[in-house]
Amino acid sequence: MSRPSTRPRTRTRIWLAAALAGVIVATGGCTARHYQQVSCHNNFQSLRLLEAQAVPSATLIPCLLPLPQGWSYGGAEVRSGLVRFWADSDRAGARTAEVRLTQTCDVSGATEVALKAPPGDMRGYQEPSARQPPTTVRYFVFTGGCVRYRFSFTQQTAPALFEEADQFLGFDPRSVFVNAVRDDTGLPLCGAGAAPCPG
Amino acid sequence: MASDAAGASSGHGRSVTPEQGTPSAGKRRRPSGAPPPLPRQLGVSGWVWVALTASFIAIIALAVAFQSLGNEFERWEVAVLRRVAEARTGWLTTLMLGINAALASRWTIRILRLGTLVALVGLRRWRHLLTFLGSVVVVELAIYQLSIFQARPRPIGVRIIGSWEGLSFPSPPVAALAVTLVGMVYSLLPPGRARSRGKWAAGAVLLVLGVARMYLAVDRPTDVLAAVIVGVAIPVVAFRFFTPNEVFPVTYRRAKAAHLDVGGRRGQAIRTAVQEQLGLTVLDVQPVGLEGSAGSTPLRLRVAAAGDEPEHALFAKLYAMSHVRADRSYKLGRTILYGALEDEAPFQSVRRFVEYEDYTLLRLTHVGIPTPAPYGFVEITPEREYMIVMEFYAGAQEIGTADVDDQVIDAGLLLIRQLWDAGLAHRDIKPANLMVRDGKVLLVDAFFVQVRPSPWRQAVDLANMMLVLAIRTDAERVYRHALKYFSADEIAEAFAATRGVASPTQLRAAIKQDGRDLVGEFRALAPHRRPVAIQHWSVRRVALGLLMLAVAALVVLVVVQTWTVFA
């Protein structure tokens, strides 16, 4: 059986194939995930455990406190050696505030700032604010880890947003997760605060 | 299928009158409960994948339903990983890190996928290409959604020494590599030894990557197993469903030499079916004219001498579910692109499909149209595979290569006149479907024949026949002969109805190759008539178009929602 002529076969297939190929190529390298929000005090959230596994040396794990009105959770990326999550603002745009946890940071260009009631041995640093584009970068350095907290505005350009963003970054001690996992499974959450792991 | 029939060595017509008296020798009624000629079988690999998929679903369901069971499973898996970790040594760790970096890299996957895409485009294997791309998209989406649903962290209780990304179940790099390798195997390697070796090689590569990732404690055994199941099962099902070997063979030979899978169990089933159901002994089954037939598997059967009938050839067309699906999507596409030009109701089963062609053949024969004598059809696998059998034209030549004289022109035009008078349309008039023997024009391929067609379709049949004849002669001569069978107004209507897509692709290509503006010449010869619109608008067409757009938008939305980095 052969087909009569009105079949727009080859051209349609080529376009369809090109579109699908484009999707595959374009999306192949994307890493952001629509994970649940990394909420503080949620010790059994898989993403929090994954954070603790990504930078096992970190004694503190960053998280988001309840977000003020006008802010929303944007997304997260977690891989070995790096945790990154961000919040969007309905006034300043997407990915306005970004949190990045690594084992170490280069704070040589930053100035140490005093922190109000810091957890553990945490010390705070702030880079000089950039004007174009307006950016604020802060560092929170603690045993085994460092959090870089970046806003895409400054205290001068958006004081209200600055005040809000300053409030919703929180930290949970890693020991909380270590204990929760041990109680739940009897296994150590390898890294800081846990029993040595084989391998 | 014209080229199939050409060059046959013998031909024997058959009366359409039902047989009387005792059944022919060799015929056998299949008793209730007895297996058909080709029982439907999943095969060993099919059952293995069914079992693995069932296990996979059971594991997920149990782990989700019972937290304590999930913890128990975690402890068991960690115990395995710990034992593996105890075997870590310097050189082995370096090797495993290298394997993981090479095989789990997005760049490796991208290169393999792009290489496959380029190869498939180069080979013009569009159906395989779309199936490959579709499988990749579905696997990526499935893995992503499963990982979010299961939300499983990396292995706990053992030191992870490799790089990783995101949640662990199912392992995304293993699944990505699995779907890519399986897609390559099914779209690039011909069935048989090459594909079998390819499968083993793909399996070995996946095994190596899985072992490496477990050695590095990046993935648990079930992370790897689930990824392999999803990454293999989806493309295997997709390729078997959309590109069955029997219909879309992967071959690197010239198209004419493309051999379908009619030599193994199916070949034997064909012999058995023809023997039992038609009482004919098949000596040989050969695929023929594959390049001219996308909607069925055309075959030439060599039949043993019986009684006073010498050994001769028969023509057969094997139909499977894939042909029904292809017909369905073809009609849907036509409805959206042109509206209901004619009957666009799809067939619901292979049986209906083959019954229809059997009916049209009988109908054509009944009204005296020179077409292959029908022998009926046989059941190969109930509701899945049927084969229609008909006369094989002996000594006939395709009209595109035959001498076309006044006798042939008259025969061709008379054939259309007969179709019109009988209230029929062939709907696929092109050189490949018109054979010439002893000055007579023989019509083949009755699948698209329609009873009580639209006047538009009948007019198109006439125009296409005149174009076929003019390619071998000239427009003026054909027009002059046509006036013997049709009025000038009817010819004007034919060329007002025939534009571009109304002619079969092969005919359009032949006209283009000819170089003359034959349609323009015919229009100049016939009385002026305004073109007949081929765009028909209806509520159904609009609704279908909107539905397709909505589905496409939904797919795009899912992909964007899933993968886009919001920045």
| pLDDT tens-digit map of B12-30 | 455 555 554 445 567 788 8
CATH of B1-39+244-324+352-394, picked from 3.40.50.12780, 3.90.1150.10, 3.90.550.10, 3.30.200.20, is 3.30.200.20
Q: Does B210 score more than 90 pLDDT? A: yes
Alpha-carbon distance A198 to nearest alpha carbon in chain B (angstroms): 5
In this prediction, residue B464 carries a pLDDT of 95
**Are B148 and A199 a contacting pair at CB < 8 A?**
no
The verdict on A75 touching B (C-beta cutoff 8 Å) is yes
In this prediction, residue B520 carries a pLDDT of 92
Residue type (1 letter), B191: P
Chain A residues 1-40 with a CB less than 8 Å from chain B: 1-10, 12-14, 16-17, 20-21, 23-25, 27-36
In this prediction, residue B244 carries a pLDDT of 75
Residue among A10, A17, A47 minimizing CB distance to B133: A17
Residue B527 near residue B492 (C-beta atoms within 8 A):
yes
In this prediction, residue A16 carries a pLDDT of 64
Beta strands in B422-467 (DSSP E): 424-425, 434-437, 440-443, 450-451
In this prediction, residue B42 carries a pLDDT of 59
Q: Which of B133, B291, B458, B556 to mutate to test the interface with A (most CBs of A within 10 A)?
A: B133
DSSP conformational letter for B320: E
Tokens standing for residue B172: 């995304």
Tokens standing for residue B222: 């079930």
Bridging pattern class, strands B312-320 and B297-303: antiparallel
**Are B151 and A75 a contacting pair at CB < 8 A?**
no
Residue B65, number of CB atoms within 10 A of its CB: 9
In this prediction, residue B103 carries a pLDDT of 93
B4 pLDDT tier (thresholds 50, 70, 90): very low
Going from the C-alpha of B224 to that of each of A185, B53, B178, B220, the distances in angstroms are 21, 13, 10, 7
Q: What is the pLDDT of residues B425-462, one digit of tens each?
A: 999 899 989 999 988 999 988 888 999 998 888 999 99
- What H or E segment, with its residue span, contains residue A142? strand A136-142
Residue B147 near residue A35 (C-beta atoms within 8 A):
no
Chain B residues 351-370 with a CB less than 8 Å from chain A: 357
How many residues are recorded in chain A?
199
In this prediction, residue A2 carries a pLDDT of 39
Q: Does B563 score more than 80 pLDDT? A: no
**Are B114 and A25 a contacting pair at CB < 8 A?**
yes
How many residues are recorded in chain B?
567
From the centroid of its chain, how far is CA B256?
17
d(CA B348, CA B351): 8
- Chain A residues whose beta carbon lies within 8 Å of the beta carbon of residue B164: 79-80
Asked if residue A133 has a cis previous peptide bond (ω within 30° of 0), the answer is: yes
- DSSP-based three-state secondary structure for A171: strand
DSSP conformational letter for B256: G
Q: What is the pLDDT of residues A70-118, one digit of tens each?
A: 888 888 889 999 999 999 988 888 889 999 999 999 988 889 988 888 8
pLDDT of chain A, 199 residues: tens digit per residue: 434 333 445 566 666 666 666 655 554 444 445 566 677 876 667 788 899 999 999 999 998 888 888 888 888 889 999 999 999 988 888 889 999 999 999 988 889 988 888 888 899 999 887 777 888 899 999 999 999 999 888 888 888 888 888 888 889 999 988 998 888 888 889 988 888 887 6
Bridging pattern class, strands B424-425 and A82-89: unpaired
Instruction: Identify which has the larger pLDDT, B388 or B121.
Output: B388
- What H or E segment, with its residue span, contains residue A93? strand A93-102
Residue among A2, A53, A189 minimizing CB distance to B432: A2
Q: Does B95 score more than 90 pLDDT? A: yes
Instruction: Identify which has the larger pLDDT, A157 or B488.
Output: B488
In this prediction, residue B43 carries a pLDDT of 61
DSSP-H helix ranges across chain A: 9-27, 46-54, 159-165, 174-185
Which residue in this structure is represented by tokens 């305004």? B530
Alpha-carbon distance A184 to nearest alpha carbon in chain B (angstroms): 8
From the centroid of its chain, how far is CA B506?
19
- The arithmetic mean of pLDDT across residues B480-492, rounded, is 96
Average the pLDDT over each of A11-25, A129-143, B294-308, B499-513 and give the range with the smallest value: A11-25
**Are B501 and A5 a contacting pair at CB < 8 A?**
yes
- Chain B residues whose beta carbon lies within 8 Å of the beta carbon of residue A189: 156
In this prediction, residue B267 carries a pLDDT of 87
Which residue in this structure is represented by tokens 């109930």? B382
- Dihedral sign (CA B501, B502, B506, B510): negative
- Chain A residues whose beta carbon lies within 8 Å of the beta carbon of residue B144: 33
Domain ranges of chain B: 1-39+244-324+352-394, 43-242, 397-525, 539-567
Going from the C-alpha of A140 to that of each of A98, A150, B160, B372, B392, the distances in angstroms are 13, 11, 26, 85, 85
Average the pLDDT over each of B178-187, B296-305, B340-349 and give the range with the smallest value: B340-349
DSSP-H helix ranges across B279-388: 321-338, 350-366
**Are B295 and A2 a contacting pair at CB < 8 A?**
yes
In this prediction, residue A31 carries a pLDDT of 47
Q: Does B416 score more than 90 pLDDT? A: yes
B78 pLDDT tier (thresholds 50, 70, 90): confident
- The arithmetic mean of pLDDT across residues B519-545, rounded, is 87
B290 pLDDT tier (thresholds 50, 70, 90): low
The verdict on B505 touching A (C-beta cutoff 8 Å) is yes
| A91 bridge partner residues | none
**Are A24 and B126 a contacting pair at CB < 8 A?**
no
- What H or E segment, with its residue span, contains residue B374? strand B374-381
Residue B414 near residue B345 (C-beta atoms within 8 A):
no
Phi-psi region of B367 (alpha: psi -120 to 50; beta: other; left: phi over 0): alpha
Burial pattern B7-18, b for ≥16 Cβ within 10 A else e, equals bbebbeebeeee
DSSP conformational letter for B39: -
d(CA A156, CA A135): 10
In this prediction, residue B2 carries a pLDDT of 39
Average the pLDDT over each of B57-71, B180-194, B250-264, B277-291 and give the range with the smallest value: B250-264
In this prediction, residue B19 carries a pLDDT of 53
Q: What is the pLDDT of residues B340-399, one digit of tens each?
A: 667 778 888 999 989 999 999 999 999 999 999 999 999 998 988 899 999 998 888 889
- Chain B residues whose beta carbon lies within 8 Å of the beta carbon of residue A190: 156-160
The overall average pLDDT reported for chain B is 84
d(CA B515, CA B474): 12
Tokens standing for residue A44: 């059994």
Which residue in this structure is represented by tokens 């503190």? A60
Residue among A6, A23, A25 minimizing CB distance to B110: A25
Asked if residue B190 has a cis previous peptide bond (ω within 30° of 0), the answer is: no
- The CATH fold of domain B397-525: Transferase(Phosphotransferase); domain 1 (1.10.510)
In this prediction, residue B41 carries a pLDDT of 65
Residue B479 near residue B526 (C-beta atoms within 8 A):
yes
ipTM for the complex shown = 0.80
- Nearest Cα neighbor of B312 from B387, B392, B371 is B392
Q: Does B256 score more than 70 pLDDT? A: no
Residue among A1, A21, A189 minimizing CB distance to B156: A189
In this prediction, residue B179 carries a pLDDT of 94
The verdict on A182 touching B (C-beta cutoff 8 Å) is no
Q: Provide the percentage of residues in chain B whose pLDDT is more than 90.
A: 41
In this prediction, residue B16 carries a pLDDT of 54
- Chain A residues whose beta carbon lies within 8 Å of the beta carbon of residue B337: 6, 8
